[in-house]
């Protein structure tokens, strides 16, 4: 289908380092297979007819010139100016909006801007813009902290979308007091002369408390945390109807309750989607069993449960709190594969040889009884031969799992699977649930072990569905464009590494291996990640680049991901004999799945944003009590106003301002000589031209200021 190439084409020709290419050269840059070139050519023609690209001099493909009106999304800055990102990219990129020309637009608004030509600079036409209409508001509500100055009441918004104060009237109507966290409906938006104005809808609690900050993130990211009475009633009815012995007696499910089956999850996991069994076969072969909660049995299509799960798209895992996709009667009860409890599952049996090659697969509806619920930490102990207190059968299974996982991991590395190291911060709490520390999350082999088994199950189901040519919701990760590594290559070069311009998969993994454990590892991993498109849900058969998989979908987490539930339903149709090449029209078509995939991708990204935001709040709250503390950080970005760094221990971003760096230089060299040197540095021009630090450099910093509401951390460098 031509549409599978559309976003990749636009993404590549929109890059600042793109040099216009002819059609064949563009296809090579996008790694288009010869067999799909006609589809690619059709995509180019469709985009040309839509006016989204032009074929210019020497038949080269490029973006169109900016017209006198631009429709796009406005993004403001803390300095008052902003940019409009056009919905249809142009050769000039984003449109600059000077101070005072934004009307009453705020970040996230869909706007129309008038384009103003400012003359030529270095042979190129220069443009600025003036917003003339706000088409759609990106933000209609905000969360912030209530303050009072005399007779006037204000709210200091959380986040960076609106940074100025918002005036509010009659806070007493909601019994709100200074220092409270509140939810505000915006009545009028900020202009050059006036603050925004709003009305308080809800008092969330005292700002800074765990309960209030949790509610604030839920409201700010518009997370639905309540189920309808009908959905709850359906969940309760499902519990009442749950009868494993009856299902086995009627021959509806295979009874494998006597098999040694275990779950392995984080220590704070609330629900357990997946369980593992493993059996050694003759001739050095293995039968891997991956058993996944049969959520589809309880959640029927288009029921209230299903509609609300589809709307949520996924569960949201916030620090110390879960907003489930399904009511807890299901997600934390009969769907969860709890220890010593009979549970319905869909079983994928994957036969492997001693090289990890898949020899065959079989699927079944089963009943299991988990022998033990293990944490990653407990598995690590067993792998270290610290087996005291563990069931011998479970220990034996873990040892076999390690052996098979090593084989699978070796096979996947040989196939070209990329392993990026971008860990999140794991929070440490005291007895009152306050964050007292943070550190990078664990990445021991127990995590890799489970990942290997889940990948096998996901691929097995995708291969099965592809054999019927039925559209299904895949987890895709398009191959990066060859030219898209240009900016990444520059970043990597600035870190002291040299790579080919068109680095391949093996070269990328060699680079990742070379920087593992070094200070510059984070920024190089991040640069490689930015060179790729993000993974998403789509029926488009483009494969998953990062894991080197041609057939891939998400099947293993139906309790917390709606796309997995859609895959389960197709698998159930196969098990019932309803799925064949002749019946594919009875299931959701490509267009329906494409729309659903876009929705689920958005909800997943929103959930990740909420999780990251609350984690940042908790870390910043902790650091606000540690002003003056010192730590190490890695330089991740250099701008004209300072450098951004990643705090090595807490994995949070901080800013070191150019003026503070100049003062540090002055102090480092001492007296008039040092001051003169710093002055000469500042007089050289742009800070980027005299910055004494380089990307990937490890430096020691001191905490200078914390602004939790704005999610900012100010640091200063320490003389060395």
CATH number, domain 3-62 = 1.10.10
So what's the pLDDT on residue 483?
53
Residue 38: CB atoms within 10 Å: 10
Cα 664 to Cα 678: distance, rounded to the nearest angstrom: 9
- As its CATH architecture, domain 141-220 has Beta Barrel (2.40)
Cα 190 to Cα 188: distance, rounded to the nearest angstrom: 7
State the average pLDDT over residues 532-537: 90
First to last CA, the chain: 59
| Angle at CA of residue 160, ends 81 and 642, nearest 5° | 70
So what's the pLDDT on residue 7?
80
CATH number, domain 626-717 = 2.40.50.140
pLDDT in tens, 298-354: 999 999 999 999 999 999 999 999 999 999 999 999 999 999 999 999 999 999 999
State the average pLDDT over residues 386-399: 95
So what's the pLDDT on residue 490?
79
Positive or negative, the Cα torsion across 256, 258, 264, 270? Answer: positive
Residue-range domain boundaries for the chain? 3-62, 69-136, 141-220, 229-403+429-478+536-614, 482-530, 626-717
pLDDT in tens, 148-190: 999 999 999 999 888 889 999 888 889 999 999 999 999 999 8
So what's the pLDDT on residue 675?
45
Using pLDDT thresholds of 50, 70 and 90, give the confidence band for residue 500.
Answer: low
pLDDT value at 254 more than 90: yes
Hey, which of 40-54, 355-369, 484-498, 665-679 has the most confident mean pLDDT?
355-369
**In the block, residue with structure tokens 């705090």:** 647
> Minimum mean pLDDT among 191-200, 635-644, 671-680: which range?
671-680
Using pLDDT thresholds of 50, 70 and 90, give the confidence band for residue 448.
Answer: very high
69-136 matches 626-717 in fold: yes
Cβ atoms of residues 716 and 656 within 8 Å:
yes
Report helix, strand or coil for 197.
strand
State the average pLDDT over residues 499-524: 82
Nearest to 377 by CA among 310, 280, 444: 444
Query: What is the percent of the chain where pLDDT is above 70?
Result: 95
Q: What is the mean pLDDT of the chain?
A: 91
Quick one: tokens of 519?
Answer: 């200070």
CATH number, domain 69-136 = 2.40.50.140
So what's the pLDDT on residue 511?
87
Positive or negative, the Cα torsion across 644, 647, 650, 654? Answer: negative
So what's the pLDDT on residue 122?
65
pLDDT value at 676 more than 50: no
- Given the DSSP bridges, would you call strands 653-657 and 642-647 parallel, antiparallel or unpaired? antiparallel
């Amino acid at each position: 289908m031509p549409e599978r190439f559309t976003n990749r084409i636009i993404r590549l020709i929109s890059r600042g380092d793109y040099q216009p290419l002819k059609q064949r050269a563009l296809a090579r840059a996008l790694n288009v297979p010869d067999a799909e070139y006609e589809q690619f050519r059709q995509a180019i023609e469709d985009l040309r007819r839509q006016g989204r690209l032009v074929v210019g001099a020497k038949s080269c493909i490029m973006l169109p010139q900016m017209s006198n009106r631009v429709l796009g999304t406005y993004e403001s800055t803390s300095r008052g100016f902003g940019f409009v990102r056009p919905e249809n990219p142009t050769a000039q990129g984003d449109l600059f909006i000077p101070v005072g020309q934004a009307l009453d637009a705020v970040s996230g608004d869909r706007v129309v801007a008038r384009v103003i030509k400012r003359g030529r600079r270095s042979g190129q036409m220069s443009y600025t813009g003036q917003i003339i209409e706000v088409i759609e508001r990106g933000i209609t509500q905000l969360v912030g902290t209530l303050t009072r100055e005399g007779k006037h009441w204000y709210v200091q918004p959380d986040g960076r979308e609106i940074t100025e104060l918002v005036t509010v009237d009659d806070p007493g109507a909601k019994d709100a007091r200074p220092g409270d966290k509140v939810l505000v409906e915006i009545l009028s938006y900020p202009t050059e002369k006036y603050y925004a104005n709003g009305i308080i809808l809800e008092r969330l609690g005292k700002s800074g408390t765990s309960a209030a900050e949790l509610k604030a993130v839920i409201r700010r990211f518009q997370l639905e945390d309540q189920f309808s009475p009908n959905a709850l009633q359906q969940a309760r009815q499902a519990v009442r109807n749950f009868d494993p012995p009856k299902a086995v007696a009627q021959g509806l499910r295979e009874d494998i309750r006597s098999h040694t089956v275990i779950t392995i999850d984080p220590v704070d996991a609330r629900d357990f989607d997946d369980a593992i069994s493993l059996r050694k076969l003759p001739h050095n072969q293995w039968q891997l069993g991956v058993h996944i909660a049969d959520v589809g049995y309880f959640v029927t299509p288009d029921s209230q449960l299903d509609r609300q799960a589809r709307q949520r798209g996924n569960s949201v895992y916030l620090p110390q709190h879960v907003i489930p996709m399904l009511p807890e009667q299901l997600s934390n009860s009969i769907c969860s594969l709890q220890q010593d409890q009979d549970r319905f599952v869909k079983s994928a049996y994957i036969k492997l040889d001693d090289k990890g090659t898949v020899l065959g697969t079989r699927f079944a509806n089963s009943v299991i009884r988990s022998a033990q619920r293990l944490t990653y930490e407990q598995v690590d102990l067993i792998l270290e031969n610290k087996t005291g207190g563990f069931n011998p059968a479970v220990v034996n299974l873990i040892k076999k799992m390690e052996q098979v996982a090593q084989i699978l991991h070796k096979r996947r590395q040989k196939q070209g699977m990329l392993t990026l190291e971008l860990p999140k911060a794991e929070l440490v709490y005291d007895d009152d649930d306050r964050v007292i520390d943070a550190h990078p999350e664990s990445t021991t082999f127990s995590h890799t072990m489970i990942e290997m088994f889940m990948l096998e199950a996901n691929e097995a189901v995708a291969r099965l569905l592809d054999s019927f040519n039925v559209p299904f919701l895949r987890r895709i990760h398009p191959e990066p464009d060859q030219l898209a590594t240009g900016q990444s290559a520059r970043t990597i070069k600035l870190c002291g590494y040299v790579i080919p311009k068109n680095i391949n998969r093996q070269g990328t993994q060699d680079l990742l291996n070379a920087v593992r454990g070094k200070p510059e590892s984070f920024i190089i991993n991040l640069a490689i990640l930015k060179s790729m498109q993000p993974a998403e849900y789509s029926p488009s058969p483009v494969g998953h680049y990062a894991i080197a998989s041609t057939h891939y979908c998400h099947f293993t987490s139906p309790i917390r991901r709606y796309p997995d539930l859609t895959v389960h339903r197709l698998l159930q149709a196969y098990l019932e004999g309803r799925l064949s090449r002749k019946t594919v029209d009875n299931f959701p078509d490509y267009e329906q799945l494409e729309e659903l995939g876009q929705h689920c991708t958005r909800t997943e990204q929103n959930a990740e944003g909420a999780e990251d935001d609350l984690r940042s709040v908790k870390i910043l709250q902790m650091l606000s009590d540690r002003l003056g503390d010192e730590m190490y950080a890695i330089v991740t970005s250099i701008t004209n106003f300072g450098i951004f760094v990643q705090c090595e221990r807490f994995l949070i971003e901080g800013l070191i301002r150019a003026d503070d760096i100049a003062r540090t230089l002055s102090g480092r060299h001492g007296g008039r000589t040092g001051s003169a040197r710093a002055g000469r540095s500042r007089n050289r021009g742009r800070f980027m031209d005299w910055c004494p630090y380089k990307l990937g450099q490890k430096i020691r910093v001191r905490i200078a200021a914390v602004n939790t509401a704005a999610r900012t951390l100010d640091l200063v460098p320490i003389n060395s």
